[in-house]
């Protein structure tokens, strides 16, 4: 199907798309609401099966199930689409702000990140199912991406290792933009152990873990700007039991982003040095744990070729495509890290992800379906 014909067909489906989107958005499916994620998977599964896919449900352990939909085809190339069903929002968020459409935008929890992206995959497969220009089209919908894909990481890597192209349906900020690089994402934990004592009677006999941790965290924060492209954020600090007890334990969680393997190695070494340095508060001990859940996604030659295919499709749609980098991680990091040709940020355009004002631009839905469809059609055509 010609790119412009796909665009016209997608435009004719926008109202149906919005109806489906309302159903998905109006389900609370935060990562820690597995029953809600299961309801989203149910809604997607019957849509996949109605479009001719074979669907496998994979146990997500304490999280919701993962879905793997497969469409056999008569062409060349194994293509993997990736999207996630979980959101960052707690149970009850839908009741506070259900799906709504207003002035060309659709709003609601997870509408941008990334229930609309899931439906871009569904509608693209539906439009191309008769032509089926692939050997196999696979779509993975996982349930734990928002916390680093702990139960689906190996599944992502396995499916990506079998693919000639991995297309990730995360959202983007402009219709003429896709994502070609992402920083690696890590969570590190610093644990400090001191010695408790009565804060009023014998404070000198205590070793305050909170104070020691504070010194370490100042050193962590000071790393910002010292390693190219690396950022660190102390996001959680907890310690002590009562104000009249010298704190025996304290810990902190630190978010770290690195653009490349060199940055990963440098920041890991710097954090180890901070943890192993002599204590400011005598007789306290500090331990470092954690690491990179997502390795950096840097554009390989094969991924650059995939972007070039997308550029061709975009020109046919009347615009020039740009490739951008972002500090946010996705399952695209995992696919790229194992060497799979990867293109990310193919979902609808919107803003305010992870925020109560989250939205998508309705006008971006059809162009994104057309872009994805065009890339899929060209992958097989470029294979010998």
Hey, which residues does 102 pair with through a beta bridge?
105
**What domains are defined for the chain?**
3-183+297-381 (3.40.630.10), 184-294 (3.30.70.360)
Over 60: is that where the pLDDT of 287 sits?
Answer: yes
Backbone angles phi, psi at 316, to 5 degrees: -65, -25
- Which tens digits make up the pLDDT trace of 310-326? 999 999 999 999 999 99
Average pLDDT over residues 46-70: 97
Tokens encoding 105:
């935008």
pTM: 0.92
| CB proximity list for 182: less than 8 A, separation 6 or greater | 294, 296, 297, 325, 326, 327, 328, 329, 330, 332, 333, 336, 344
Q: What is the pLDDT of residue 147?
A: 92
| CB proximity list for 332: less than 8 A, separation 6 or greater | 82, 166, 168, 170, 179, 182, 297, 342, 343, 344
- Which tens digits make up the pLDDT trace of 100-119? 999 999 999 999 999 999 99
Q: What is the pLDDT of residue 4?
A: 85
Place of tokens 């390795």: 295
- Which tens digits make up the pLDDT trace of 169-196? 999 999 999 999 999 999 999 999 999 9
Average pLDDT over residues 188-213: 97
At residue 382 the predicted structure's pLDDT band, cuts being 50, 70 and 90, is confident
Place of tokens 């008769």: 130
How much of the chain is helix, strand and coil, in % rounded to 5?
40, 25, 35
Backbone angles phi, psi at 302, to 5 degrees: -65, -40
Determine how β-strand 177-182 pairs with β-strand 100-102: unpaired
Say how far apart CA 327 and CA 222 lie, in whole Å.
19
Place of tokens 């020039």: 320
At residue 96 the predicted structure's pLDDT band, cuts being 50, 70 and 90, is very high
Q: What is the pLDDT of residue 384?
A: 55
CA angle 291, 296, 302 (to 5 degrees): 145
Average pLDDT over residues 200-220: 97
| CB proximity list for 54: less than 8 A, separation 6 or greater | 69, 70, 71, 72
- Which tens digits make up the pLDDT trace of 133-164? 999 999 999 999 999 999 999 999 999 999 99
At residue 50 the predicted structure's pLDDT band, cuts being 50, 70 and 90, is very high
Average pLDDT over residues 193-211: 97
- Which tens digits make up the pLDDT trace of 60-83? 999 999 999 999 998 999 999 999
- Which tens digits make up the pLDDT trace of 213-270? 999 999 999 999 999 999 999 999 999 999 999 999 999 999 999 999 999 999 999 9
At residue 355 the predicted structure's pLDDT band, cuts being 50, 70 and 90, is very high
Over 70: is that where the pLDDT of 210 sits?
Answer: yes
How much of the chain, in percent, has pLDDT values that exceed 90? 97
Higher per-residue pLDDT: 383 or 295 = 295
């Amino acid at each position: 199907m010609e790119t412009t014909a796909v665009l016209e067909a997608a435009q004719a489906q926008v109202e149906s798309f919005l109806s489906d989107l309302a159903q998905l958005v109006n389900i609370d499916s935060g990562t820690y609401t597995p029953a809600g994620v299961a309801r989203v998977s149910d809604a997607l599964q019957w849509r996949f099966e109605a479009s001719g896919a074979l669907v496998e449900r994979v146990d997500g352990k304490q999280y919701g199930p993962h879905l793997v939909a497969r469409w056999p085809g008569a062409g060349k190339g194994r293509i993997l689409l990736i999207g996630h069903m979980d959101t960052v929002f707690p149970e009850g968020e839908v009741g506070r702000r259900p799906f709504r459409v207003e002035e060309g935008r659709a709003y609601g929890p997870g509408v941008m990140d990334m229930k609309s992206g899931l439906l871009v995959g569904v509608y693209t497969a539906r439009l191309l199912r008769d032509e089926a220009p692939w050997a196999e089209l696979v779509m993975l919908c996982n349930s734990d991406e928002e916390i680093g894909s702990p139960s689906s990481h190996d599944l992502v890597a396995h499916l990506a290792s079998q693919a000639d192209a991995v297309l990730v349906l995360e959202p983007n900020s402009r219709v003429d933009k896709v994502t070609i690089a992402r920083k690696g994402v890590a969570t590190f934990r610093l644990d400090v152990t001191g010695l408790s004592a009565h804060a009023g009677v014998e404070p000198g006999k205590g070793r305050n873990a909170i104070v020691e941790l504070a010194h370490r965290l100042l050193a962590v924060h000071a790393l910002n700007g010292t390693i190219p492209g690396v950022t660190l954020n102390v996001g959680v600090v907890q310690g002590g039991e009562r104000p009249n007890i010298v704190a025996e334990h304290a810990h902190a969680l630190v978010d770290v982003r690195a653009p490349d393997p060199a940055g990963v190695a440098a920041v890991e070494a710097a954090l180890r040095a901070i943890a192993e340095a002599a204590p400011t508060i005598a007789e306290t001990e500090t331990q470092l744990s954690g690491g990179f859940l997502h390795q950096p996604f840097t554009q390989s030659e094969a991924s650059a070729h995939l972007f070039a295919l997308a550029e061709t499709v975009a020109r046919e749609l009347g615009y020039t495509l740009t490739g951008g980098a972002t500090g946010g991680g996705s399952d695209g990091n995992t696919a790229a890290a194992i060497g799979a040709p990867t293109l990310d940020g193919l979902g609808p355009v919107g803003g305010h992800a992870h925020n109560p004002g989250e939205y998508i631009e309705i006008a971006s839905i059809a162009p994104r379906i057309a872009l994805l469809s065009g890339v899929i059609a060209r992958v097989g055509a470029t294979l010998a």
